[in-house]
Amino acid sequence: MKRTDTEFVGGPLDGKVLPVLVSLFHNVPKVYRVPVPATADDPGYTLVYRRAKEYEAKGRRWRWRYEYDPGTTAGSTIGSSDATADGAAGGAARGLASGTADGSGGSDSSPAGGGSGQPEAPGSESDRP
C-alpha cells in the first residue's frame, strides 16, 4: 500500500506530519480518527481530523492536510460509530431508500415487456395487429 506524508493542523497532533495510506487515486481518507486509550482518570475517546486542501503560495498546486474537528470528539468513544457525523445518511439522501433509482419502490420482477406483471385482458393493445 502506498502512503503519503500528511500534515495535521490543530488539536494534539498540531504540526505533526504522519504517513497516511492513500486510495487507488492517491487521495487520503476524508476523515482520520485517532483513538486515545482510557487512563485511570479519563475514559477513552477519539480525535477526529477532517481532510482539507492546502494550496501553495501561487495557488496552482495543492496537497491534502488534516484539520482538527473539536466538535466531533466531545461525545465520541473508541467503540462508537460516527456514521451520522460523517454524513452517511444512507441511500435516502441519494434517492435509493426505496430500492430503485427512480424511487418508485417496486421490485423489478416484471416481465421483459414491462408493465405491471399481471396478465393483460383480452382485446388490449398488445393483441391488436
**Residues 7 and 17 sit within 8 Å (Cβ to Cβ):** yes
Whether 101 is in a domain gets the answer: no
Percent of the chain at pLDDT exceeding 90:
37
pLDDT classification of 60: cutoffs 50, 70, 90? confident
Whether 36 is in a domain gets the answer: yes
Please list, in sequence order, all residues whose beta carbon lies within 8 angstroms of the beta carbon of residue 55, skipping any fewer than 6 positions away.
61, 62
Count of domains for the chain: 1
| Mean pLDDT of all residues in 65-94 | 54
Whether 89 is in a domain gets the answer: no
Q: How far apart are CA 65 and CA 54, in angstroms?
A: 6
- Residue-number span of the structural domain to which 9 is assigned: 1-81
Whether 124 is in a domain gets the answer: no
Whether 119 is in a domain gets the answer: no
Predicted pLDDT of residue 76: 47
Q: How far apart are CA 30 and CA 48, in angstroms?
A: 10
Predicted pLDDT of residue 120: 55
Q: What is the mean pLDDT of the chain?
A: 71
Whether 44 is in a domain gets the answer: yes
Could you tell me which residue, 89 or 105, shows the higher pLDDT? 105
Whether 111 is in a domain gets the answer: no
